[in-house]
Every structure is written in C-alpha cells, then in structure tokens.
Structure 1
C-alpha cells in the first residue's frame, strides 16, 4: 500500500467533498482506513469526521462483500486460487490466524494482515457465519479507525509542538 495514494487524492479538496472522497477511498480494498485516515488528518481535515467517513466507507463495502459472499468467494478463488490448493502467502496467513484465534482474531488483524475485504471472504469460506463476520469486522474497523485517527492527530500535534 502506497501512503501517497490517499494524500495525493485528498490534497486540495475541502469541505464535504473531501469527506466524501475519504469515504470513497476507504471503500477501495487496497487503500482502506490504514492509508486514508492518516492522510486526511495530515492534510488538516477534522480527525473525527475523517474517522467517521473512513469507517463508513470501509465497512459499507465489507458488508457488501459479506452479503455477496458467494460471488466474492468465487472471485477470490479465481484471483488467488482455491484456499485449500496452493494458497497465497496472504491466504496462508489468514488461515493461520483463523485457526488460532477464530473470527475475532482474523477480523482484528485484518487491516494489517490481509485487508478487511479479503479477511471477510476468507472467514466465511473457513466456516464463520455472516453475522459473526459482519459484527467482528465492524468492531475491528471501528477500533483501527479510532486508533489511527487518534495517533495521526496527536502525532501531528506532537510534531508541531516539537518544531
């Protein structure tokens, strides 16, 4: 993930359009909250509004993936192969997390391990229920978004005090 993707896209966009762009960028599986939240806060946007928009954008598409999990699983199998036959490094990592910690562990590690969208599909393919996956992904994204917004804001403020 290239952190400049979010910063370049958000640079020069003000007001409600900026937060709408945060929502859209957070909905993109490769970008997600890990890139968009720090970029938005670094550009001087309101950290609470950035966090809300990023959380809503990321969770919305994750819920769509869960709702269409049959199609999403077929896509993952086409893109990454059958999870049981020669899985990719990301899939192997997700399976290890799921076997060890279940749906909660996979969901909580998703933003930094596989991405929220792929983790949701993998949890479903490994036997988790849709309601469990949706609940744990929401908890995970809320926790990560809140932590990222706070760290970005206080990190930027702390750097400003040092300079």
Structure 2
C-alpha cells in the first residue's frame, strides 16, 4: 500500500487519528540503536536496498545494506544475519538468483533497531537487535522473520 498509495490512511495503536501510511516508513539511516528505541513516539518501518552474501556458517546468509552510516567518524554498512532456509523458502526467486551467482539488489523492510558492536576503536559493526535485549536478533527466530520483509 505504501508504494501504491502513500497517502492511504491507517490507524495505529499510538495515533488518535488515521495518518498517511507514508509517515510509518523511514529510510534505514533514520533507524535508532536498541537503547534509544524508547525515545520514539511511534514504531517505524525502515527500508533500504540490500544484497545477499555468504558467511562462514553454511546455515545463514548476510543481508548487507547499501546505505552507509557514519559512526565515530567511520563509514559503516549495516548488515543482518538471517537463516538461509528462511530466505530459500520465503524468497525463492531471490535465493535462486543468489545461488546462481547473479548479483541482485532488492528492497528490505524491517522494524528492528540497530545494534552497535565495537570490535576495536577502528572497527565497528552495525547489526540489528532483538526488541527484548541489546543482542543480535537470532537469525532463526520468529522475531526476525516477523520483522523482516524482502521485496
């Protein structure tokens, strides 16, 4: 609905009156860290172009987002680890292109907050947190699957 009619009005749990659906969507750079999610008045759906890549673990894939963030004067690209079986079952067209070596970009939507991981002063990762605790969301969890959509 967001793409076809951005002015379509929806009623959220926190809004007193219907609002245009376009106000519920924000570019991924506008996402907040886990510890700051309580500062938001509303819940938002964040979106960005992304692509798949392999990891050292054969049962998961990495979703790498194409929007650079500046954190502590470093340029960082957020990423998310997700079950390979979930991608294969829920997004077979994207998975088939990936395994055949076709470089494919797609739009990803998520509601999950960012999680900042310091590896060293010059190495920081931006991943995605569970809503429950400041930890990477489980790549095999319903929490991830219910808060992720690939188009």
TM-score, scaled relative to structure 1: 0.25
Task: Give the structure with the larger helix fraction.
Answer: 1
Question: Relative contact order (alpha carbons < 8 A, sep ≥ 6): 1 or 2 greater?
Answer: 1
Task: Give the structure with the larger strand fraction.
Answer: 2
